[in-house]
Structure 1
Amino acid sequence: MRKSKENENSVLRSFQERKEMERRFSKLLLLFALAVFSTVLRRITILPSVEGQSSGSPVSAFFILGDSSVNCGDNFFFYPYLPRNSSSYLCNTSDRRLIPDFLAEKMGLPMVPSFYSQNRTLEGLLGGLNFGSSPATIMNWGGAIYQGLNQQLGQAFETLQLLQLQLGIEKAREVAQSSLFYLSIGKDDYIEFLRDPDGIRERHGPHKFARMLVNQVTRVVKDLYNANVRKIICMGIEPLGCTPRSLWQACNATTCAHDRCIDTINGLIVEYNTMLSMDLLGLNQQLPNAQIVFCDLYRGMMAMIMDPKSYGFDDVSSACCGLGRYGGRVGCVSRQLACGERARHVWWDLYNPTEAANQLLADWMWSGSSLDICHPITVQQLASAPARTVARTPCHQ
């Protein structure tokens, strides 16, 4: 027991030292990364032919925007040059696949590369890119650690513009309209809202804050539509009040004032998800040929948490990889912290599901056979629907 405690303290001290180093250099690295961003795109090698891109799927490419739900923290210009012990182990191919990984497999598409790991060829762009970053927010919180949704959207637009320059307007339009765009973000905004470092919770209140976030997401959907994108998946936010981090924060030295979840936090998420779902339904009716699907991540996760045995889980509260009560004090800073039976846990780390949970969510999203969490159609129906290639007048906000 004493040795285990010493090992935990050693890992914690190492984590704290690493975080201090990251705070000192994050702003400098971010500024430099932004400076070289346009250079990265300009250095892409353009190939004369785009034949052979088809995978047999009606979806020609898969483009992804979002937070740690879509990216493991490696979509950063300096990631290949940083020491491996400078990053948390959110996931890798051997630890935890994410929902987009499973969906790409179901659509017969290869795993989507992150933006900064692309192979700099036109053929590489035509298969899709993952613009997601961990962490990432809808709002611009002004900190160096968050990549804003607008930055990811800018990367997506520059990619689509590059395709237009090289393929021509008509061919690029066909590519955009036959592609599937996946948007999963908002969790980190609520984490900041609950921390309330700038008093935003007091100034705006929960309802107005949810409306601000939803307006930004629907604005992004409209912007993508105006760029000829027609097939879009928008994910709701998970039950943040059930995450290991939230449970740990609700505990004092001796007791925890909750059961499985913090209802007040989950209430915020339900309000946001409901508001977003309704607005997206309106956009489907407003935008000609738009095919927008909302997937209720909250409902899927709560099904596992409330009836874990039915889905093969034993632990719905503790992180598989983390330190402290519920594994919620410090995240997964070392693979050595990971539990032995990962598939028995719902949560991988502070806020993210395990691969087993992600696979179950992807299955429900795809077919809706056991639990229907996507509306108005399933992802399988969206992917197999013919691309709507009729050019329309852009919508305006």
Structure 2
Amino acid sequence: MKPQFADKIGLTSILPFYAQNGSLNEILGGLNFGSTQAMIMNPGSYSHQSLNQQLRQMTNAMRYLYEANARKIICLGVLPLGCAPRIAWESNQTSDGDIINGNGCVDNVNNWVLEYNRLLNEHIIKLNTEFSDAHIVFCDVYTGILEIINKPRFYGFEDTKSACCGLGLNGAMIGCISTELACNQASAHAWWDLLNPTEAVNSILAEAAWSNQPIPDLCRPFTIHELVHTKSNL
């Protein structure tokens, strides 16, 4: 969603963190660490965190931004990971795997995500009260993507279960190791790879976050367009 927001606000695209061809001045303008799933540790080194730990990290991050004089902050919720191709594939690999519903989503995983998003939104409401001179907007991408998955034809999608780029059942066994593996029409897919939605989905979410259309109430307490044009008391 970042490129779509940048275009609407009139910002230039921020360099990916791995770009080596930018000038020093461009780098001083910002680096984009969210352009890829860059990792320095192997999957075996993942650490498990409780829901409260994750919420505390997000809340602290917003406090740090406020202390750094940020007064307009956008916080995205977690997408419906239970609908991602990889999660469904992993569930199918175990005899006692979580039940997959008719839309190809693992409800047990989505229920955890829903609870996290609910609590995150509550924390943001409290922060907005505490920081009266700031505006923090919560964007519920979970609801947005689920709306697309539940009504794929309405939004122009043909496949909401398989990854456009990947190998194995539904492209979910091995990730997109090369764009040569990509499907011919990515815009017809809801999922680009194991866990990430396609640009077509992100474009719909970005428009909804900006203007409340075609998916209403994606962001609250107001749209990104309203946030951009809201004056903050610095």
Give TM-score, length-normalised by structure 1. 0.53
Match of 1:110 in 2: 12
Secondary structure of 2:214's aligned partner:
coil
Counterpart amino acid of residue 74 in structure 2: I
In structure 2, the CA distance between the partners of 1:223 and 1:197, relative to structure 1 (3 Å rule), is closer
Counterpart amino acid of residue 293 in structure 1: V
Question: Whole-Å Cα distance in 1 between the matches of residues 195 and 170 of structure 2?
Answer: 11
Question: Whole-Å Cα distance in 1 between the matches of residues 211 and 24 of structure 2?
Answer: 34
Match of 1:316 in 2: 160
Secondary structure of 1:308's aligned partner:
coil
> Does the alignment pair 1:373 with 2:218?
yes
Counterpart amino acid of residue 110 in structure 1: T
In structure 2, the CA distance between the partners of 1:130 and 1:144, relative to structure 1 (3 Å rule), is closer
**1:227-269 CA distance string (max 9 Å, x none):** 1111110100110000000111122499x95232000000110
> Does the alignment pair 1:279 with 2:123?
yes
Secondary structure of 1:285's aligned partner:
helix
Match of 1:72 in 2: none
Structure 1 runs (4+) greater than 4 angstroms displaced: 195-198
Does the Cα contact within 8 Å between 1:135 and 1:145 map onto a contact in 2? no
Question: Whole-Å Cα distance in 2 between the matches of residues 249 and 114 of structure 1?
Answer: 30
Name which of 132, 136, 156 aligns with 2:34: 132
Secondary structure of 2:92's aligned partner:
coil
Deviation at 1:351, TM superposition (A): 0.2
Counterpart amino acid of residue 327 in structure 1: G
Match of 1:333 in 2: 177
Secondary structure of 2:32's aligned partner:
coil
Question: Whole-Å Cα distance in 2 between the matches of residues 342 and 385 of structure 1?
Answer: 36
1:114-263 alignment to 2 at 5 Å? 114-115=16-17, 117=19, 118-121=22-25, 125-126=28-29, 128-132=30-34, 134-135=36-37, 144-145=40-41, 200=48, 209-252=50-93, 257-258=99-100, 259=102, 260-263=104-107
In structure 2, the CA distance between the partners of 1:369 and 1:144, relative to structure 1 (3 Å rule), is closer
Deviation at 1:212, TM superposition (A): 1.1
In structure 2, the CA distance between the partners of 1:129 and 1:237, relative to structure 1 (3 Å rule), is same
Q: Structure 1: state its 5+ residue gaps.
A: 1-98, 137-142, 147-191, 202-208, 390-397
Match of 2:189 in 1: 345
Query: What CA RMSD, in Å, does the superposition of the two structures yield over aligned residues?
Result: 2.5
Question: Whole-Å Cα distance in 1 between the matches of residues 213 and 189 of structure 2?
Answer: 23
Question: Whole-Å Cα distance in 2 between the matches of residues 292 and 119 of structure 1?
Answer: 32
Counterpart amino acid of residue 340 in structure 1: N
Secondary structure of 1:311's aligned partner:
coil
Secondary structure of 1:329's aligned partner:
coil
Q: Structure 2: state its 5+ residue gaps.
A: none
Give TM-score, length-normalised by structure 2. 0.88
Match of 1:92 in 2: none
Deviation at 1:196, TM superposition (A): 10
Question: Whole-Å Cα distance in 1 between the matches of residues 57 and 27 of structure 2?
Answer: 29
Question: Whole-Å Cα distance in 2 between the matches of residues 253 and 280 of structure 1?
Answer: 37
Counterpart amino acid of residue 231 in structure 1: K
Please say which structure displays the higher CA radius of gyration. Answer: 1
Does the Cα contact within 8 Å between 1:211 and 1:275 map onto a contact in 2? no
Residue identity over aligned pairs, in percent, reads 40
Counterpart amino acid of residue 224 in structure 2: V
Does the Cα contact within 8 Å between 1:247 and 1:326 map onto a contact in 2? no
Question: Whole-Å Cα distance in 2 between the matches of residues 252 and 274 of structure 1?
Answer: 30
Deviation at 1:306, TM superposition (A): 0.6
